[in-house]
Chains A and B, each alone.
Chain A
Amino acid sequence: SVQAHKEEDNPEKKMEVNGPTPMPVPNSYDYDLIVIGGGSGGLAAAKEAAKYDKKVMVLDFVTPTPQGSSWGLGGTCVNVGCIPKKLMHQAALLGQALQDSRKFGWHFTEDVKHNWMTMTESVQNYIGSLNWGYRVTLRDKKVTFENAYGEFIGPHTVKATNKKGVEKLYTAERFIIATGERPRYLGVPGDKEYCISSDDLFSLPYCPGKTLVVGASYVALECAGFLAGLGLDVTVMVRSILLRGFDQDMANKIGEYMKEHGVNFIREFVPIKVEQVKEGTPGILKVTAKSTTGNQIIEGEYNTVLLAIGRDPCTRKIGLDKVGVKINEKTGKIPVNDEEQTNVPYIYAVGDILQDKLELTPVAIQAGRLLVQRLYAGATTKCDYVNVPTTVFTPLEYGACGYSEEAAMEKFGEENIEVYHSHFWPLEWTVPSRDNNKCYAKIICNIRDNERVIGFHVLGPNAGEVTQGFAAAIKCGLTKEQLDSTVGIHPVCAEV
Chain B
Amino acid sequence: GKNEYDLLVIGGGSGGLACAKEAAQFGRKVAVLDYVEPSPQGTAWGLGGTCVNVGCIPKKLMHQAALLGSALKDAQHYGWNISQPVHHTWSVMAQAVQNYVKSLNWGHRVQLQDKKVKYFNVKGSFSDPHTVRGLTKAGKETVITADNIVIATGGRPKYPTDIAGALEYGITSDDLFWLKESPGKTLPSFILYVSLECAGFLTGIGLDTTVMMRSIPLRGFDQASHISNKKQICFTTQQQMASLVTEHMESYGTKFLKRCFPTKVEKLKSNRVQVTWKNADLNTEETDSFDTVMWAVGRAPDTKTLNLETIGVKTNSETGKIIVDASEATSVPHIYAVGDITEGRPELTPPAIAAGKLLAQRLFGQSSELMDYDNVPTTVFTPLEYGCVGLSEEAAMQRHGSDNIEVYHAYYKPLEFTVAERDAAQCYMKMVCLREREQRILGLHFIGPNAGEVIQGFALGIKCGATYPQMMKTVGIHPTCAEEVTKLHITKRSGLDATVTGC
Please tell me which one of the listed residues B64, B87, B475 contacts residue A428 in the complex, with CB atoms under 8 A apart: B64
Q: How many angstroms from the CA of A308 to the CA of B452 in the assembled complex? A: 34
**A166 on the interface (CB 8 Å rule)?**
no
Chain A binder among B22-30, B39-47, B261-269, B370-378? B370-378
Nearest-Cβ distance from residue A40 to partner chain B, whole angstroms: 8
Give which listed residue, B79, B452, B457, contacts A470 with CB less than 8 A. B457
Which of these, A98, A120, A487, contacts B80 with CB under 8 Å?
A98
**Bound-state Cα–Cα, A98 to B86, Å:** 11
| Docked complex Cα distance between A8 and B80 (Å) | 61
- Residues 35-82 of B at the A interface (beta carbon under 8 Å): 51, 56-57, 60-61, 64-65, 68-69, 71-72, 74-75, 77-82
Q: Of all chain B residues, which has the CB nearest A492?
A: B452
Determine the distance from Cα of A107 to Cα of B93 in the docked complex, in whole angstroms: 11
* A96 to B210 CA separation, bound complex (whole angstroms): 31
Q: 5 more A-B contacts (CB under 8 A) besides A105-B91, A486-B460?
A: A87-B78, A430-B61, A468-B482, A469-B461, A489-B452
Binding stretch for chain A, among B128-136, B334-342, B415-423: B415-423
Shortest A494–chain B CB gap in Å is 3
Q: For residues 288 through 333 of chain A, which have their beta carbon under 8 Å from a beta carbon of chain B?
A: none
> What are the residues of chain B within 8 A of A483 when measuring CB–CB?
460
Q: Which residues of A have CB within 8 Å of B471?
A: 472, 475
Contacts of B415 in A (CB 8 A): 83, 86-87, 90
Q: Which of A93-142 contact B (CB under 8 A)?
A: 94-95, 97-98, 100-101, 103-109, 112-120, 122-123, 126, 130, 133
A97 touches B75 (CB 8 A): yes
Scan B234-251; emit 1 where CB is below 8 A from any A CB, else 0. Answer: 000000000000000000
Q: A106-B68, A487-B377, A492-B379 are in contact. Are A77 and B86 (CB under 8 A)?
A: no
- Distance in angstroms between the alpha carbons of A482 and B464 in the assembled complex: 7
Q: How far is the CB of A75 from chain B (nearest CB, A)?
A: 9
Establish whether residues A94 and B418, one from each chain, have CB atoms under 8 Å apart when the complex forms. no
Q: Closest approach, in angstroms, between the C-beta of A373 and any C-beta of chain B?
A: 12
Instruction: Establish whether residues B379 and A431, one from each chain, have CB atoms under 8 Å apart when the complex forms.
Output: no
B455: A residues at CB distance < 8 A: 469, 489
Stretch at the interface among B270-278, B292-300, B343-351, B492-500: B343-351
A399 to B375, CA, bound (A): 25
Q: How far is the CB of A351 from chain B (nearest CB, A)?
A: 13
Taking a contact as CB atoms under 8 Å apart, the answer to whether B453 and A494 are in contact is: yes
**B92 part of interface (Cβ distance < 8 Å):** yes
Which of A108, A114, A361, A472: most chain B CB closer than 10 A?
A472
Give a binary string over B164-197; 1 marks a CB under 8 Å from any A CB, 0 the rest. 0000000000000000000000000000000000
Given known pairs A82-B479, A130-B503, A465-B481, the reply for A492 and B78 (CB within 8 Å) is no
Partner of B475, one of A97, A360, A478, A491: A360
CA distance A21 to B72 in the complex (A): 67
Interface size class of B (residues with CB under 8 A): 35 or more
Rounded to whole angstroms, the CA-CA distance of A485 and B276 in the bound complex is 49
Q: Is B311 on the interface with A (CB-CB < 8 A)?
A: no
Residues from chain B with Cβ under 8 Å of A360 in the complex? 475, 478
B456 touches A108 (CB 8 A): no
Which of A77, A112, A472 is in CB contact (< 8 Å) with B457? A472
Interface contact A465-B450, CB-CB below 8 Å: yes
A490 touches B56 (CB 8 A): yes
Docked-complex contact A491 and B57, CB < 8 angstroms: yes
- How many A-B Cβ pairs are below 8 Å? 288
Report the separation of the CA atoms of residues A122 and B416 in the bound assembly, to the nearest whole angstrom. 12
- Asked if B100 is at the interface of the complex by the 8 Å CB criterion, the answer is yes
Determine if A466 and B453 form an interchain contact, defined as CB atoms under 8 angstroms apart: yes
Which A residues are CB-close (under 8 A) to B400? none
B78–A91 touching, CB < 8 Å: yes
Q: Are A469 and B450 also in contact (CB < 8 A) when A77-B503, A94-B71, A489-B455 are?
A: no
Q: Is the CB of B89 within 8 A of A107?
A: yes
Q: Are A74 and B460 in contact (CB under 8 A)?
A: no
Contact of A490 among B69, B348, B375, B485 (CB under 8 A): B348
Quick one: which of A94, A387, A469, A475 contacts B456, CB cutoff 8 A?
A469
Q: Which A residues touch B68, using CB under 8 A?
A: 97, 100-101, 104, 106
State which of A83, A120, A390 has its C-beta within 8 Å of the C-beta of B479. Answer: A83
A-contacting residues, B454-489, CB 8 Å? 454-461, 463-467, 470-471, 473-483, 485-486
- Is the C-beta of B501 less than 8 angstroms from some C-beta in chain A? yes
B387 at interface, CB cutoff 8 A: yes
State which residues 348-366 of A face B: CB under 8 Å: 360-363, 366
Chain A's nearest CB lies how many Å from the CB of B418? 5
Which residues on the A side are within 8 Å of B332 (C-beta)? none
Instruction: Determine which of A112, A133, A363 lies in contact with B82 in the assembled complex, contact meaning CB atoms within 8 Å.
Output: A112
Do the beta carbons of B77 and A122 come within 8 Å of each other? Answer: yes
**B88, A106: Cβ atoms under 8 Å?**
yes
A interface residue numbers (CB < 8 A to B): 40, 74, 77-78, 82-83, 86-87, 90-91, 94-95, 97-98, 100-101, 103-109, 112-120, 122-123, 126, 130, 133, 230, 360-363, 366, 384, 387-391, 399, 427-428, 430-431, 462, 464-473, 475-479, 482-483, 485-495
Could you give 16 example pairs across A and B, Cβ below 8 Å?
A: A90-B419, A91-B75, A101-B71, A114-B81, A384-B475, A430-B61, A462-B450, A466-B453, A468-B457, A468-B476, A471-B457, A473-B460, A473-B464, A485-B463, A486-B460, A487-B376
Kindly identify which residue among B354, B470, B474 contacts A487, using a CB–CB cutoff of 8 Å: B354
**Binary interface encoding of chain B residues 414-458 relative to chain A, with 1 for a CB under 8 A from any of its CBs, else 0:** 011011000000000000000000000000000000101111111
Contact A91 B475, beta carbon cutoff 8 Å:
no
Q: Which residues of A contact B354 (CB under 8 A)?
A: 487
User: Complex formed: what's the CA distance from A478 to B482 in Å?
Assistant: 19
Q: How far is the CA of A126 from the CA of B79 in the complex (A)?
A: 14
Q: How far is the CB of A242 from chain B (nearest CB, A)?
A: 20
Are the C-beta atoms of B71 and A98 separated by less than 8 Å? yes
A371 to B242, CA, bound (A): 40
Q: Are A86 and B479 in contact (CB under 8 A)?
A: yes
Q: Does B256 contact A (CB under 8 A)?
A: no
Question: What's the nearest-Cβ distance from chain A to residue B224, in Å?
Answer: 23
Write out the residue numbers on chain B whose beta carbons fall within 8 Å of the beta carbon of A362: 475-478, 483
Are A122 and B78 CB-contacts (below 8 A) given A105-B89, A431-B100, A478-B460? yes
Docked complex Cα distance between A462 and B479 (Å): 11
Please determine whether B460 and A469 come into contact, CB atoms closer than 8 angstroms: yes
Report B94 CB to chain A, min CB distance, Å: 8
Q: Is B205 interfacial (CB-CB < 8 Å)?
A: yes
Cβ of B461 and Cβ of A467 under 8 Å apart?
no
Complex CA–CA separation, A95 to B418 (angstroms): 18
Bound complex: CA A490 to CA B380 (Å): 10
Q: In the docked arrangement, what's the CA distance between A490 and B416, Å?
A: 24
Q: Contact at A489–B71, with CB atoms within 8 Å?
A: no
Contact partner of A391 (CB less than 8 A), chosen from B93, B458, B463, B480, is B480
B79-115 contacts to A, CB under 8 A, are 79-83, 86-94, 96-97, 100
Known interface pairs A83-B503, A104-B93, A476-B466; A109-B82 also in contact (CB < 8 Å): yes
- What's the minimum C-beta distance from A467 to chain B, rounded to whole angstroms? 6
Indicate if the CB atoms of A399 and B79 lie closer than 8 Å: no
